[in-house]
Structure 1
């Protein structure tokens, strides 16, 4: 299939800087750079348009996706209390569908007939992006240079750019591979490729070492409406602003670090250091509120949906009927999750101190250890007899009675 114009998901890093000229040389096409602002920080975005044009792109579209990422992707994930393999708060995973969707929109806007990305053939992201492309733009060709070209090292990529006099700030001294957005930052490579070697101090980019965090705890009040955080310490904030504000506060106390080995979608295991300061606090707060408001079976069902949602999100199946069905169930269970949660930050931990809600199912009148007028303890005898009836019948059968 011939290609005349391709929209490349561009970051300004070494890989995508090399992809621009490679696409032009190997596909004889126009390359339009697309940059997603998902909260990775002003430093990463500084000069990115100039870099793209210097690499040979005809245009560069920078799209601010921070609020859309927070409101339409992160909040549904938080409402589901989704965590992958017990520890990973899905920071990279949750940003991929919003980026892919915006990339397709740019492609439609400029009349492109192809999409390209810089994901390697070993990772999860190639599946995530291309699954989104298949759902949103099945007519567009997808080009994945890492699966086509013969270059395999940073040195080869740097030489490739040098031969073409294309400026690039990357060097051979880079140790880690990092990915940042509004929700988290991930670090892979270096000493992390040996699972017996502890993560070094340079593996952590956002958070203070918990041992060096302040000796004084900090207490926060977080307000929720229908399971969505809306205010921090009484100040109403937009989704993106609330996450950014809370990231700074929690990171200063060393909150949000995990060092894990996970199962990639493509079959191999990988190790990464993930920092999700705001997410760690918000998850603890949301769990406290759901425990207060939901009854036992609803709480169990939310846990079930959360596990399904985590797997779906990790596997790149956002634009599917299953995701729509899961989110519908999750949002139904979150309808009454309105209230306030108080959280203490101290030395790497986020500890819930209290929770309150107009929909709370906690009743002091029923739960008290003191005298009460609403609960007849004699009623428990009949309940226990019926509850244990299957065990009683089995025991009698085993005795031959």
Structure 2
């Protein structure tokens, strides 16, 4: 019989005090408060796991908080794996939520869950805990991933049925001499692909404004009349070079985030649905994603027939839906990935852009085996000549004499 899904703090009282527990730890208010509650309950062997996929928080900061709350911190560097196994497929899948914004935490949650399960199994941990609440899509994505990964212990978030006010969490942490988190005015999530903000001062879709200092990559620093020309190359669906310089995907994304963001490009805002259909506002900055997704579609259009792209566009949203709903490791997402990979195998080429403040224009779309025309008049002449050529009936093929 499977252990129960953890949905409340009262269920944590059933944990064995001396057996290991793994918690996902961002260094934020919710994950710090969970460590405090576990310490108060007498759970002595707590392992806080932080999966480094290019987030903002420093390791020193996280270590300071974890140590103050009696937990052992594990920082796992998964940046390259995140880029190669999660971001790269998302580029080929054109993973954009309902045409509004590229997905981001949708990609990170399966990797975070997988990393936590690996650590929990190595430790023989009795539970994997996270801190997502009902107004966060992370709840179903982490629970879905942990379920599909077949983790044998208990898992879930005690905040699901037991929300705790911000003021109560801050007061409890201050009383425990942990007073590091009070300055935050929104809930943030970051990785090498995206910086995302929600909640707090961004709760209300009808009235919201993001302080410009919160943006890091997309804060315009280029002069109004400045321009920049950048070329992105793809091989078999994978971004491989910028301006002719081969780069690993992590470095390629990092360079484009700053180079494209310097022109104020790559900001997104939009509503995303929760588990029961209600919608919440999310703000993102994703300059590299903006350029790479647009570039990929141009190269793809140069290489693939229109009917194939039309069918792929439908399956892209199936891929996004399955990943978004916490079924990254599910059969349907994996099946659509096979189709997308087959298309990606034929997607090789490059796009040159001219960047300017507030926008960008293509200057070149190039592929080695193009379906595009470079001289329409010459093509028309050849096509007409072929169509007008006299029809010659082929000679019949006679069977050989017996």
TM-score (norm 1): 0.87
Alignment-derived partner of residue 54 in structure 2: 39
Q: Higher helix proportion, which one? A: 1
RMSD between aligned alpha carbons?
2.2
Aligned partners of 1:93 and 1:313 also within 8 Å: yes
Supply the distance in 2 between the matched residues of 1:29 and 1:322 (Cα, whole angstroms): 41
The secondary structure found in structure 2 opposite 1:187 is strand
In structure 2, the CA distance between the partners of 1:250 and 1:46, relative to structure 1 (3 Å rule), is: farther
In structure 2, the CA distance between the partners of 1:346 and 1:80, relative to structure 1 (3 Å rule), is: same
Supply the distance in 2 between the matched residues of 1:85 and 1:213 (Cα, whole angstroms): 33
1:169 aligns with 2:180: yes
Equivalences for residues 11-50 of structure 1 within 5 A: 11-26=26-41, 28-41=43-56, 43-50=57-64
Aligned equivalent of 1:376, options 384, 390, 393: 384
Supply the distance in 2 between the matched residues of 1:222 and 1:127 (Cα, whole angstroms): 35
1:53 aligns with 2:67: yes
In structure 2, the CA distance between the partners of 1:307 and 1:87, relative to structure 1 (3 Å rule), is: same
Q: How many residues align?
A: 373
Aligned partners of 1:337 and 1:359 also within 8 Å: no
Provide, for residues 169-209 of structure 1, a one-character-per-residue CA deviation record: whole Å limited to 9, x for no partner: 111x5321111101001111344333332524347412445
Query: 1:225 deviation in Å?
Result: 0.6
Alignment-derived partner of residue 385 in structure 1: none
Aligned partners of 2:373 and 2:379 also within 8 Å: no
Equivalences for residues 207-286 of structure 1 within 5 A: 207-208=217-218, 214-286=224-296
In structure 2, the CA distance between the partners of 1:350 and 1:91, relative to structure 1 (3 Å rule), is: farther
Aligned equivalent of 1:328, options 297, 315, 338: 338
Query: 1:357 deviation in Å?
Result: 0.8
Supply the distance in 2 between the matched residues of 1:190 and 1:11 (Cα, whole angstroms): 18
Supply the distance in 2 between the matched residues of 1:265 and 1:86 (Cα, whole angstroms): 20
Query: 1:245 deviation in Å?
Result: 1.1
TM-score (norm 2): 0.87
Query: 1:226 deviation in Å?
Result: 0.6
Alignment-derived partner of residue 396 in structure 1: none
Aligned partners of 2:270 and 2:283 also within 8 Å: yes
In structure 2, the CA distance between the partners of 1:190 and 1:348, relative to structure 1 (3 Å rule), is: farther
Provide, for residues 353-387 of structure 1, a one-character-per-residue CA deviation record: whole Å limited to 9, x for no partner: 2211112111346xx1357442128969xxxxxxx
Provide, for residues 52-95 of structure 1, a one-character-per-residue CA deviation record: whole Å limited to 9, x for no partner: 121111x2110011110110001111001121121120012111
Aligned equivalent of 2:119, options 101, 106, 128: 106
Supply the distance in 1 between the matched residues of 2:381 and 2:223 (Cα, whole angstroms): 48
Supply the distance in 1 between the matched residues of 2:222 and 2:365 (Cα, whole angstroms): 29
Aligned equivalent of 2:172, options 160, 175, 181: 160
The secondary structure found in structure 2 opposite 1:86 is coil
The secondary structure found in structure 2 opposite 1:241 is helix
Aligned equivalent of 2:107, options 90, 94, 110: 94
Task: List runs of 5+ in structure 2 lacking aligned partners.
Answer: 1-13, 389-402
